[in-house]
Amino acid sequence: MFQRINHVGIAVGELEPAIAHYSEQLGIEVVHRERLDNDSIDAALVSVGEDRLELVAPLVDDTPLGRFLRKRGPGMHHIAYEVADIDAALEQLRAAAMTLIDAVPREGIDGSRVAFLHPSSNFGVLTEIVEPAS
């Protein structure tokens, strides 16, 4: 079902200082930046060789990401697996009795379709499945 790890999500309080840190201190290039108003998130994808990190910052405090940051502080937020067909993947996950946060896909960064699995289904790790834009 999963083709590869698409990215690892890192929760940050503000995007600009995080981008500055990753680019200036670590020499990691920002490859895409986008504001996702539906989820109240400001996000940037940074490239680490062939792999990517997604830096995510809440636009407002009263969101799942804002609550995550208040409770846990900045750090690893989720791991995202790439799938070819997110609808079929959700069916397989539902049949496997996984706890879905998203029963249907929603819009993700860079034109992707995404859905999240509850951390209780994966040893405490918030899991995202991603169908990249064609």
> Averaged in consecutive runs of 10 residues, what is the pLDDT profile of the chain (134 residues)?
97 97 94 94 94 97 95 97 98 97 96 97 97 92
- The residue segments making up the domain with residue 53 are 4-131
Domain count, the chain: 1
Residue 134: the pLDDT is 79
Domain of residue 109, CATH code: 3.10.180.10
Global pTM reads: 0.93
pLDDT on residue 97: 96
Contacts of 54 (CB under 8 A, 6+ apart): 7, 8, 9, 10, 43, 44, 45, 46, 80, 109
